[in-house]
Structure 1
Amino acid sequence: MAEVLATMVVGPLVSMLKEKASSYLLEQYQVMEGLEKQHKLLKRKLPAILDVITDAEEQAAAKREGAKAWLEEVQQVAYQANDVLDEFKYEALRRKAREEGHYKELGMDVIKLFPSLNRFVFRIKMGNKLRIILEELDVLIAEMNCFRFKFRSGPPGPVNHLRENSSKIIDPVDIAGRSRAGDKEKIIKSLLDKASNVNLMVFPIVGMGGMGKTTLAQLVYNDPEIQKHFQLRLWVCVSDNFDVDTLAKRIVEEAKKNGCQANGSSALDELQNAVSGKRYLLVLDDVWNRDEAHKWEKLKSYLQHGGSGSSVLTTTRDQAVAQLMMGAAKGAYELGRLGEKFIEEIINSRAFSSKQEKDWPRELVNMVGDVAKRCAGSPLAATALGSVLSTKTTAREWKDVLRRKKICDDRNGILPVLKLSYNCLPSHMRQCFAFCAMFPEDYEIDVEMLIQLWMANGFIPVLRGEEHPEISGKNIFIELTSRSFFHDVKGIPFEFTDIEVSRVTCKIHDLMHDVALDSMGKECAAIATEQSKSGDFPHSARHLLLPVNQPETLLNASLEKGSPVIQTLICEEYVNKDLQHLSKYRSARALKIKIMRGSTSRTMLGLEPVWLHHLRMGIFN
């Protein structure tokens, strides 16, 4: 079924190329002089492919292998064409800089990033590149006709304004607070009743993904009785990397935020010191690995030094994790389905969010009960399905959604409905969200930076006469958040004024992260410390996050092997030495690097064109 596979991000890429090929800069600075015929052909061929992308994506999602292979080839050619068009754009910007008298300000390292300064040589070189792209497009169009792909209108276009009354959308967390009140009280009672226990208590919450385990754990964690009872509360997300030393270090960092002193020769010694003698509650959210019980036992031996009544509350999808790792065969709390009344409430809040209740279409309201039955008691599924239905205005459209065999099932859980929700997004929103696959699970994303990265990569449509791309980016983020693609948003909500607001951050639910990964494949990557030691560099990645120490060592070694295709590069740790071979970063649209110069540091966020921001931030000095 088409809803089981998250569609590839190809349409938005081709659409972006179409806009670049029509850029006024190419005409104004005559960078395609002598290539006018090829330029016209390019501007005709791109819309021809774009017209059938939606049909091809639907067939690929329905597991038609030929359509999938064709889309993959379109994607590769589109990336090549994107680089070629950017070379034309950079040449136009070079000529603009020279015309405006700024050219002499550029250092030699910057000039190396430019195409050839000789117009004749540039025309020959770029003409050959453009010819290859056009030949590739001819082959794709011939195959497109053989496959008989048809024109189909895609999902709705760019969102230019927020939903009416969006502030009145009911927060599913509030619904969870009411619907899970009984679960919360039972868990709190169990934790408080063990106040005199000398041994560490482990209390796992087990349930299907998207059922609200983390939300329930948050309700318990923030309850006034719990806050009063425990001297120290700690929250750490584990996900799929159960590394003892790393986990101990993260717990210690949380303890220090709460004013604890932690001394020791290792992270585990610091952990023991931090919790020693204190009654604490540690939440280990999203525990996965069932094969490493010995690691848990090692960590637990250091956690045992807390005061009487200390407890570890865990959340996991896997019953075996609760039994084998946590040693709690009889103590696991199985989280049941959310009551149908609350599921219906979530669906109503999403599907009819732009209307007052008195204006809700009766025919559609009467179908909500049937929709709720397809959500398997999952609040995340209800939110996603309700958001899909908010774009459907007739009973026939609702019935078409309900006819799908796979919305929620025992084998795939709620992933099918999440992928359906993703596939129903406008194409540019799919690209913006899929890009987030570069961030690891539970990564705290800086929203302002994320929007800048979207802009740098050209993901946000720029429509003539419309608002600034940054405002469009904020609208896209708000819309995606309202559909639960982002959650755990912290900070002051966006105000569309000139007033600065505090840092806004968000996270992505692990199931939604699976959807993004399914769409992007190897296009996005994050290199963990362990991978970096093995030299396993993802040379096919276009968007790369490096959370490792001394990232310049890894980057310099990889650049020796050839030019990277990286478009986005984020280094989490300081770059202490020079990045070599900078001229090879010709594909880069965005670089975020923390630079250490002597006793001072600064963060460089380079946006397209990269050379301009290199100059501005003094990275070449």
Structure 2
Amino acid sequence: MAELVIGPLISMVKEKASSYLLDQYKMMEGMEEQRKTLERKLPAILHIIQDAEEKGASRPEVAAWLKDLKTAAYEANDVFDEFKYEALRREAKKKGHHSKLGAEVARPSRRFSEALRRGARNPIVFRYRMGKKLRKIVQTIEALVTEMNTFGFRHLQQAQPSRQWRQTDSIIIDSDRDILSRSRDREKKKIVGMLLDQASNMDLMVLPIVGMGGMGKTTFVQLIYNDPAIEKHFELRRWCCVSDDFDVSTIAINICQTNEKCREKSLQELQSIISGKLPDLIVLDDVWNRDADKWGKLKSCLKQGGKGSAVLTTTRDAQVAHIMTMGVAEAHNMENLSDEHLKEIVQSRAFCLQNPNIEEQDGILSGFVRRCVGSPLAAKAFGSMLSNRTSINEWKNILAKSNICSEKTGIYLFLKLSFDDLSSDMKQCFAFCALFPKDYEIDVDLLIQLWMAHDFITVQEDDNPETVGKYIFEELTRRSFFQDVRQTLPIGNFGRLSLRKSTICKIHDLMHDIAEGLKGRPEGG
């Protein structure tokens, strides 16, 4: 069952219902009673919505209630979007800009155009049609509030994220990198030795790195890929994110770093680039393909490389690893991170904003480490959750909630717990990111603009929405929802590099799975 995030949507409807534009142009004349009802009912829902969302994960009747509430909220959102658009149209007409309105005002719902075709420009028709819609929505919400009161929901006080962390972010990242490098040093030396020595006597070695999600496979292979001895030994090194779609032509294009569209030409170009006397290293990250024929076509091209060439792959799937293994007895299974190193990661994040009380907190930290089941991603998420909480009782409450996590369940349920810990607007912003494909490089400035365009960012009177959007992105990054954040010079028109740096990021594939479970609006929306 897909988890439902309702709070941000209810907040959005509440804000739109009280827009000054609606009063200025008397958009809701004759609908005052419905509007007042919403102004009473929506805050009541918001008061308990976090508890409802948490209970919806385990109680089917609450999940069904949330689904109906989400449908009603989307319908209300569309209605108030139409009110707002009509108000803007009248304002533009009054100022003499009516003809430009269509080009300058973004209309987020396709229902706007339908509304205009059905006579929205006639004030009497508009008021009648919208009043009818609004009355139906209010009746639905009143019934949902009545049902809500039978569930026994309670108000949950949410810990507010501190904004001090930005000053320590680079320290956190450097600390994580140092811990992971030390913790994987023995494994890294083993793989580097195989690539430099054992592979040198082969035409091609293919060594899969296998481990459950969140184990740090990609980070581990990055350590190998950037090792000075590896850089010196291999003439050509290429990194390709594969993910769900194992398209041989697309992989060839990515390795060649070309825009060649023809399938056959892309494979020919791949063979041309890797053919030579010196060895090459290709990394295929996040592979899910179980089709041996597809892998066989790519492998036949990669075998054209110089003697001693190697392919490293990362995968969660042991069967995929078995299909791809070549030149070695078996794939390399990632070891669980030691409790000692997991504890370091949790501590580095948990104490970045507070002074530790080692005697009281040490025992609880050990409990969190056990919940991590060897995963550095879980340790990062735990530490980030704890950093905003200063009392032992708060730490104990999080530990109690995390008892759903075990070696058997993996860390997905815990990452969902980490999502539940976000503020309402952060939940909505992250859920939106499911629209991006896995391993997609997201332009951060564009992402924030999209959040703003969809009214996901809640601002106070003196706040700048873009500044708040940047803070939300930074907080989500700190909590490991985003990763691989870096600056780049984007390619502009005519293939020229832009002088303005752009910040890009990716979403961890497990976090993307969380977002996938949250997306979606009712049919017809």
Both proteins in one fold, TM over 0.5? yes
- Name the SS for the 1:311 alignment partner: strand
Q: Note the C-alpha offset of 1:270.
A: 2.1
> Residues 222 and 46 from structure 1, CA distance in 2 versus in 1: closer, same or farther, beyond 3 angstroms?
same
Q: Note the C-alpha offset of 1:511.
A: 0.7
Whole-Å separation in 1 of the counterparts to 2:70 and 2:261: 51
Query: Which residue matches 1:211?
Result: 215
- Please state if 1:449 is matched with 2:453: no
Whole-Å separation in 1 of the counterparts to 2:163 and 2:83: 30
Kept after mapping to 1: 8 A contact 2:54/2:420: no
CA-to-aligned-CA distance 1:377-403 (integer Å, 9 cap, x gap):
211010111112223322222223323
Whole-Å separation in 1 of the counterparts to 2:391 and 2:416: 22
The letter for the 1-side match of 2:280 is Y
- Please state if 1:95 is matched with 2:98: no
Question: When the two structures are aligned, how many residues end up with a matched partner?
Answer: 505
Q: Which moved more, 1:276-285 or 1:300-309?
A: 276-285
The letter for the 1-side match of 2:153 is K
Return the match for 2:464 from 465, 468, 475: 468
Whole-Å separation in 2 of the counterparts to 1:274 and 1:341: 44
> Residues 185 and 431 from structure 1, CA distance in 2 versus in 1: closer, same or farther, beyond 3 angstroms?
same
- Please state if 1:519 is matched with 2:522: no
Query: Which residue matches 2:414?
Result: 417
Query: Which residue matches 2:151?
Result: 148
Query: Which residue matches 2:196?
Result: 192
The letter for the 2-side match of 1:401 is I
CA-to-aligned-CA distance 1:132-174 (integer Å, 9 cap, x gap):
11121122122223x3332312534586665564443254223
Q: Note the C-alpha offset of 1:311.
A: 0.4
- Name the SS for the 1:504 alignment partner: strand
> Residues 455 and 313 from structure 1, CA distance in 2 versus in 1: closer, same or farther, beyond 3 angstroms?
same
- Please state if 1:488 is matched with 2:493: no
Return the match for 1:79 from 65, 69, 74: 74
Whole-Å separation in 2 of the counterparts to 1:347 and 1:160: 19
- Name the SS for the 1:519 alignment partner: coil
Whole-Å separation in 2 of the counterparts to 1:188 and 1:382: 27
- Please state if 1:269 is matched with 2:268: yes
Q: Note the C-alpha offset of 1:316.
A: 1.2
Q: Going by fraction, where is helix more abundant, 1 or 2?
A: 2
Kept after mapping to 1: 8 A contact 2:434/2:512: yes
Normalization by structure 1: what TM-score?
0.76
Kept after mapping to 2: 8 A contact 1:407/1:414: no
- Please state if 1:181 is matched with 2:185: yes
Kept after mapping to 1: 8 A contact 2:208/2:324: no
Query: Which residue matches 2:309?
Result: 310
Kept after mapping to 2: 8 A contact 1:166/1:354: no
Q: Note the C-alpha offset of 1:436.
A: 0.7
- Please state if 1:235 is matched with 2:230: no
Kept after mapping to 1: 8 A contact 2:162/2:388: no
Whole-Å separation in 2 of the counterparts to 1:161 and 1:38: 42
Whole-Å separation in 2 of the counterparts to 1:49 and 1:195: 62
Whole-Å separation in 2 of the counterparts to 1:195 and 1:167: 37
Kept after mapping to 1: 8 A contact 2:210/2:217: yes
> Residues 398 and 444 from structure 1, CA distance in 2 versus in 1: closer, same or farther, beyond 3 angstroms?
same
The letter for the 2-side match of 1:148 is F
Query: Which residue matches 1:400?
Result: 397
CA-to-aligned-CA distance 1:314-345 (integer Å, 9 cap, x gap):
11112222112334672311211112221111
The letter for the 2-side match of 1:14 is I
Whole-Å separation in 1 of the counterparts to 2:401 and 2:103: 59
Query: Which residue matches 1:119?
Result: 123
- Name the SS for the 1:364 alignment partner: helix
Whole-Å separation in 2 of the counterparts to 1:430 and 1:481: 13
Whole-Å separation in 2 of the counterparts to 1:263 and 1:70: 51
The letter for the 1-side match of 2:285 is D
Query: Which residue matches 1:506?
Result: 505
CA-to-aligned-CA distance 1:403-458 (integer Å, 9 cap, x gap):
34645323321112211111111111111111111111111111001000111111
Kept after mapping to 1: 8 A contact 2:240/2:254: yes
Kept after mapping to 1: 8 A contact 2:205/2:327: no
Whole-Å separation in 2 of the counterparts to 1:474 and 1:314: 34
Q: What is the 5 A alignment of 1:597-608? A: none
> Residues 482 and 34 from structure 1, CA distance in 2 versus in 1: closer, same or farther, beyond 3 angstroms?
same
Query: Which residue matches 2:206?
Result: 202
Q: Note the C-alpha offset of 1:181.
A: 1.6
The letter for the 1-side match of 2:93 is R
The letter for the 1-side match of 2:392 is A
Kept after mapping to 2: 8 A contact 1:211/1:380: yes
Whole-Å separation in 1 of the counterparts to 2:279 and 2:139: 70
- Please state if 1:50 is matched with 2:26: no
Measured on the aligned residues, the alpha-carbon RMSD in Å equals 2.7
> Residues 444 and 46 from structure 1, CA distance in 2 versus in 1: closer, same or farther, beyond 3 angstroms?
same
Give the structure, 1 or 2, with the largest relative contact order (CA under 8 Å, sep 6 or more): 2
Q: Which runs of 5+ in 1 are unaligned?
A: 493-499, 524-538, 541-563, 566-621
Whole-Å separation in 2 of the counterparts to 1:462 and 1:100: 28
Percent identity between the aligned chains? 52
> Residues 23 and 374 from structure 1, CA distance in 2 versus in 1: closer, same or farther, beyond 3 angstroms?
same
- Name the SS for the 1:251 alignment partner: helix
Whole-Å separation in 1 of the counterparts to 2:456 and 2:163: 15
> Residues 42 and 264 from structure 1, CA distance in 2 versus in 1: closer, same or farther, beyond 3 angstroms?
closer
Q: Which moved more, 1:103-112 or 1:179-188?
A: 103-112
Q: Note the C-alpha offset of 1:252.
A: 2.4
> Residues 461 and 106 from structure 1, CA distance in 2 versus in 1: closer, same or farther, beyond 3 angstroms?
closer
Q: Note the C-alpha offset of 1:125.
A: 1.4
- Name the SS for the 2:314 alignment partner: strand
Query: Which residue matches 2:280?
Result: 280
Q: Which runs of 5+ in 2 are unaligned?
A: 489-498
